Each structure stands twice: as structure tokens, then as C-alpha cells.
Structure 1
Amino acid sequence: MSTYKAIKLVKRPAGSIGPELFEVEEKTVPEPAEGEILIRQTYMSLDPAMMGWMSEDTDSYIPRVELGDVMRSSGIGEVIASKHPDFNEGDQVMGLFGWQEMVLTDGTGVNKVDKSLPPEMVLAVFALPGLTATQGLYGYGHPRAGETLVVSGAAGSVGSIVGQLAKADGLRVIGVVGTDEKADWIVNELGFDGAVNYKTDDLGAKLDELAPDGIDVYFENTGGPILDYVFERMNAHGRIVVCGLIADYTSENPRPGPNWMRIIKKRLSIQGFTMPDHWDKTKDLQAKLTPYVQKGQIKYRAHVLDGLESAMSGLGLFLTGDNKGKLMVKL
């Protein structure tokens, strides 16, 4: 009897993320009933948001993953059996497939993907990272040519796309990263105007050097001390887009927020957002992103781990900053 592997969440994180939180289970490969498809997952996305999904929090934008459930994730795969009128064997598809080698589904939330597109590119650009970057930047950042944008987590999957989009639109773009290698990549490969290494630079002095006219748009992916320095340098009518705060995801004492008086003085707009509010815009967001990709204005790099079980330790790379580019698992 054929089996496949799935990984369940069995403990809540308490300051660290590792294999101790998960359990591997062998399952029997199911047969699709009428209206169902069986998908073999080929690539699985790892995203910082997963740390929020694993937490105790029940007051969030998406239900947490319950203990004993297969860990949630998006992925790309191939239909290997179909009794669904809209899907054929061999179709390349994308959806929320979870940490498992196979998934049986009625097709809800599953989208076909052009088979000519490499799976790594799909997950790195046209899936969650690209959608998040495009919605956040244009939906809330309202970038204008000639302005200055700072993006944290700038070498990550979302931040690198935000910066490249803004640069293509004529903004001055500064990225915040955690290593000199990442700084070199975003400046010399992606075309950013400058980089701040939050671990080694004098943050205030470096921002003053790179953004002498202040900051108009801040795209926040990480939180941490850089937020305070950027906040103090925001220009009047500046826009702050809050996408992620990975520095606080596993912290028992999250950092306090900035002084609200500056929000009044500078008439700042601050917007938190998550992509689940905007799934209905997926096709429009991909359509907006596509011309930039076709013109070669969006580059990416994929950090690929091998095998389903590598996800259990791989997720911790977000906390150490050792991931380089879009983190994913090849099954």
C-alpha cells in the first residue's frame, strides 16, 4: 500500500523554532472521489508568517494552526489523479497544500500555473512574496518618482521585490539587511541605491548619509531597532506600510511602539496589512507585476532546502537571518 509523509504541529513555539514542535506522520495515499483531485506537491514555501500561525494567538487575521493538524503552507505541485472537470492529470497547480507530500482536494483555492514557468520562480515572484510586495507597495505605500523608500528585510522574498518595483518606478531605494553579503547583493545585483547593515552600522548616521532628504515611504518587514531610526526621519505625509515584525514573533516582550506625537506633526499614514484580505485581487496583482518581470526589472534568488523534513529546522533560518532569498523546500 502506497504511503506519503505529512508533518503535524504538536507544540507551540516558546522562543525558538525547531523540529521539537513537529511530528512526521505516514499516511495512506488516497483515491480521489468525484469532484476531487490528488496532487503531488513538488515545492513548498516557507514564510515568516508561519510563526504567527503556530502561536497561541487566537485574535489574528487567519486562524492559527491547531495542535495535531498538518502545518499550513502554500506550495506548487502536479495533479496525478483527477475526477474533477476543471483539472487534468499533469496540470501544474498552486495552493495552500500544507507540509505534506500529497494532498487530496476538491479544488477550492487551487489555481493552475503555466507549466513553462519554473516552480522556483512561481513561488519566489508570482506567489505570496510578489503578491504581498505589490499590494503593500501600491495599495498603501503610494510611491511617487523622486521619493525615498526604505525597506527592511530587503534581501528577503518580499523586501527585495518591493525595492525593485520602487526602483523601477523612479524612487531612491534603501534596503535594511543583516549581512554585508546581502548588502552587496541588493546594491550591486538588484540596483538599490544603498544598504544599511542593522547589525554593524551606526543606524542613524547611515540613514542620514543615504537619505539626506528624509524618508517618504517605509516598508516594514522585520521590526527591531531600525524602526525607531526610520520613524524619526519620516517626511511630512510619509507612509509606513507594516507587513511583518519578525523580530517580535517569538519575543515575550515585544518592543514598544514609537512616539505618536510625530504621527501628528508629520501627518504620517501607518497601515498594517496581510494578504488574506486581498486574495480576490490575485489576478490583478499578478497582472501589475508581470510587466516588471517581462522587462527584467525583477530578479530573485531561491534558498532551496531538500526534502519535506528539512522544513522543521529550516523555518528557524528566518530568526537567524541565514536564509538568502525566497526560502522553500523541494520535495
Structure 2
Amino acid sequence: MSQYTEILLTKRPDGNPIGPHMFEVVKKDMPQAGPGEILIKQTHMSLDPAMLGWMNPDKESYIPPVELGTVMRSSGLGEVVESNHPDFAVGDTVMGMTGWAEYIVSNGQGFNKVQTGVDAETALSIFALPGLTATQGLKKIGEPKAGETLVVTGAAGSVGSIVGQIAKADGLRVIGVVGDDEKAQWITEELGFDGAINYKTDDLAAKLEELTPNGVDVYFENTGGPIQAEVFKRLNAHARAVVCGMIADYTNPTPPPGPNWIPLIKKRIRVQGFAMPDHFKDVPELLGILTPYVMQGKIKYRSHILEGLESAMTGLNLFFTGGNKGKLIVKL
């Protein structure tokens, strides 16, 4: 009987780089779809910063941690190769939570068909978690208004780049925080951001003051780190801070203290964290908001492709180093 590959999580992060020592690559006999099920051959798998949190043992997080000895969690895209489900046919391209596996058996729950004509990279870069997360956080929580100023961290990443482009299309002044000059050039020259800050080399306070002369109305936080305190000082009255990710602190045993809360009172600032599992029921609505921007050519993206399932075991480190250039995707 032919076999396929799965990758199991076997160790928790310990402050060292993510690598094969934390996983087990296993071979299993090829599965079959049972009654009411589909068999999916995964072709493209998404790597996302949230996965670093899922690997930790935090029982109080928004989603249970990946249990040791089980398939590592991820979303992905693939082709239905066997179907006993009335809503799916062999040959359908579907997207959903797949995990680190070449084949997945599912009852169809959580999987959606990919629109004809949308290729895998576009689907995972825009219409999967990145675009949904950007739309939920910016539109539903950030409530952007034309003429306001938005600062987004991780601005060249899969979520941050979409946040900035939607905000620009809505008439906001958009400033992106990135980790190198190439990314700064990309978001300003290609995506149309009004300015960029390199958090590794720029004088953060001075650069923020220069680029946000009227203060900051919407702060979309993807990374944490030293820039956070400086943006907080620039927030205007009634500003909204959307907390989506904190990659700088995910593996930090002693995260830095937060800002003084007195300005929250004085300026009536709203700070709200969110996680997409709370909003999966809203996916059709979010896609309805996002799709017109895409159809009008207002959303550009770039993807960073890794080859082979096992590349995921080291590929996650690119989030810490900033080495990824766009949406991180594993091509199986």
C-alpha cells in the first residue's frame, strides 16, 4: 500500500530556533474517505506567525495548543481526490485547516471551495487567514475613516501589507513599520504607503514624529517590540489600537511591561485584541468586504515559497528573523 507523510509536534519551543528536533516525520498508509467524507491532497500549506503561539502549552489562549504527538496545525489548500460528500466533487480545490500532512480526511467542516480562476498563492495570500485577519481587525475593530493616520507594524508581512492597502484605498495616511530597507521600499513604492520606518536602523521617536505630524488614529499591532511604546505616545484622542500579533514576545520569558494606562483615560483610547477563530462564522461577510478591493486591483501581494513539507520545520524561523519576503507558503 502506498504511504504519505505527516509531521508531528513532539517538543515545545525552548527559546532556541524552531527545527527538526521539535518534530517527528512519520509515514502512514494512504487513507480513504469514509461515508460523508472527502480525501484532500494538500498542494500548498500556509505558515503563519500564530503557529508559534499554537506550539506553546498555554491553556488559556484563544485556541487550545497543539498536543504533543499530534499533527502540527496549519491551514492549507488542496485538491479533493476522493469524495463521499454531497457538497464536494473530485477535482474541487478547497481551503481550510489541513495540518502538516500530505493527505487529509475530512467531513468537509471548515473547508471552503476556492473560486475558479484563483490560483493557490493568491488564495492563501489574500483570501485565507491574511486577508480575513486584516479585514476583521481593520474594518471591524479599527473602524478607519478617511483623513485619519494609520500605523501598522509588520507592514511587509501577509496581514500588515493588506491592512495598509485597504486603509490607503479608504483614504487614510498609512505608515508601515518594517525590518529592512528593501521592505520599506516595497511598501512605499509598490503598495503606495505614505511612509516607512525601519525599526532596526531608524530613530523611532524622531521618524514617527516626522511621518505622523497629526498623530496616530489607528494602530494595527502585529509585532510588539520597542516601536510599540513610541506609537503609543503618538495616539490621538479616540484612537483605536488593534492588537493582532506580538511576534517579538511570543518566545520571550519576560515580555517588557506595558505602557501607563493613564493616557487611555485621558484620550479615551480603545485597545482591543482579537483572534480569527472567534470570527470564522463571519467569513462570508469578511470576504464580501475584501473581494471588491481585490477585484479593483487595490490589493497587491508577494509570496515566499518553500519547497517540500519538511521545509516547514525550519521555515517558521523566518518570522523571527524577518527573512520572509511576503506570504510564507510551503509548496508540497
Query: What TM-score comes out, normalization by structure 1 length?
Result: 0.99
Q: Which amino acid counterpart does residue 197 of structure 1 have in structure 2?
A: N
Shift of 1:115: 3.2
Q: CA deviation at 1:221?
A: 0.1
- Which residue matches 2:237? 236
SS of corresponding position for 2:248? helix
Runs of 4+ in 1 over 4 A off after TM superposition: none
Structure 1: distance between partners of 2:116 and 2:63: 30
- Letter of the 2:69 partner, please give it: G
Aligned pairs (5 A) from 1:30-69: 30-69=31-70
Aligned length: 331
Task: Provide the residue aligned with 2:132 in structure 1.
Answer: 131
Matched, 1:6 2:39: no
Written as runs of structure 1 = structure 2, the 5 A alignment for 1:65-144 is: 65-144=66-145
Aligned 1:265-276 pairs, distance under 5 A: 265-276=266-277
After TM superposition, the structure 1 = structure 2 runs for residues 144-223 of structure 1, keeping only pairs within 5 Å, are 144-223=145-224
For 1:247 and 1:31, locate their aligned partners in 2 and report how far apart those are by CA, in whole Å: 42
How far apart in 1 are the matches of 2:264 and 2:19?
A: 39
Deviation at 1:106, TM superposition (A): 1.1
Looking at structure 2, the residues matched to 165 and 18 of structure 1 have their Cα atoms a distance apart, in angstroms, of 35
Partner SS state of residue 76, structure 1: strand
Q: In the alignment, which residue of structure 2 is the partner of 1:249? A: 250
**1:236/1:267 contact within 8 Å kept:** yes
Superposition TM-score, scaled by structure 2 size: 0.99
Partner of 1:5: helix, strand, or coil? Answer: strand
Q: Which residue of 2 aligns with 1:258?
A: 259
Residue 219 of structure 2 aligns with an amino acid whose one-letter code is Y
Query: Could you list the per-position Cα deviations for residues 139-159 of structure 1 after superposition, in whole angstroms to 9, with x for gaps in the alignment?
Result: 110100000000000000000
What CA deviation, in whole Å up to 9, does each residue of 1:83-109 have, x standing for no partner?
Answer: 111111000001101000000111111
Post-superposition offset of 1:110: 1.2
SS at match of 1:232: helix
- AA matched with 1:45: S
Relative to 1, partners in 2 of residues 1:104 and 1:21: Cα closer, same or farther, differing over 3 Å? same
CA distance in 2, matches of 1:183, 1:164: 14
Deviates more, 1:10-19 or 1:234-243: 10-19
Amino acid in the other structure paired with 2:218: V
Cα RMSD for the two superposed structures: 0.6
Distance 1:19 1:146 in 2: 48
For the residues of structure 1 that align with 2:167 and 2:86, how far apart are their CA atoms?
41
- Inter-partner Cα distance in structure 1 for 2:24 and 2:245: 27
1:26-71 Cα shifts (integer Å, max 9, x gaps): 0111121111111000000000000110002111100100000000
Distance 2:217 2:107 in 1: 45
Unaligned runs of 5+ in 1: none
Counterpart in 1 of 2:21? Answer: 20
**Cα offset, 1:164, TM superposition:** 0.2
Q: CA shift at 1:75, angstroms? A: 0.3
Percent identical? 67
Structure 2: which 5+ runs fail to align? Answer: none
Q: Which residue of 2 aligns with 1:317?
A: 318
Is the Cα contact below 8 Å between 1:91 and 1:115 reproduced in 2?
no
Deviation at 1:255, TM superposition (A): 1.3
| Cα contact 1:175–1:192 (8 A) shared by 2 | yes
Distance across 1 between alignment mates of 2:5 and 2:103 = 8
Structure 1 residue 265: Cα displacement: 1.3
